[in-house]
Amino acid sequence: MSASEIDQIIKIVDEEALEIIIDYNAEFKFDHFCPKVQIVYVLELPDSQEPVEYHMLKTLASRVADVNPRYKIGIIFEDLTQMPVSENDEMVQKEIDRLDREINSST
């Protein structure tokens, strides 16, 4: 994904997030793009009055597909920065270990 595509996706997510607040009282923001699986992840915000659900994101998914038809939407429901340090450290270490295994197996 190019820098201009990232900027375009962030703008689309921001615009759609405003619509979702109005229509569903659910709040989210752009979190990241995973190039390996080509998913644009949005993060449900802690102050969201309602859970963010996929049916709410149909227009967002359509607009993102206009940028690139291979891109899909994913929802992150839990902010790791809000977890107790011990749980966060354990999850980060598991992810590091997984990535190390993946890198070592491909070499």
The token pair that represents 16 in the structure block: 């759609």
Mean pLDDT on 78-101: 68
Amino acid at position 58, single letter: K
> Is there a single domain that holds both residue 86 and residue 72?
no
d(CA 100, CA 67): 32
d(CA 92, CA 5): 28
**Tens digit of each residue's pLDDT (9 = 90 or more) over 41-75:** 999 998 899 999 999 999 999 999 999 999 999 99
> Is there a single domain that holds both residue 65 and residue 24?
yes
The total number of structural domains in the chain stands at 2
Mean of pLDDT over the chain: 86
> Is there a single domain that holds both residue 69 and residue 103?
no
Cα 40-6-63 angle, rounded to 5 deg: 60
Q: Which of 6-10, 44-48, 102-106 has the lowest mean pLDDT?
A: 102-106
d(CA 9, CA 105): 32
Instruction: Give pTM, 2 decimals.
Output: 0.70
The whole-number pLDDT of residue 10 equals 95
Mean pLDDT on 8-24: 96
Task: Judge contact between 73 and 61, C-beta under 8 A.
Answer: yes
Domain that includes residue 30, residue range: 3-76
pLDDT above 90: percentage of residues in the chain: 60
> Is there a single domain that holds both residue 88 and residue 67?
no
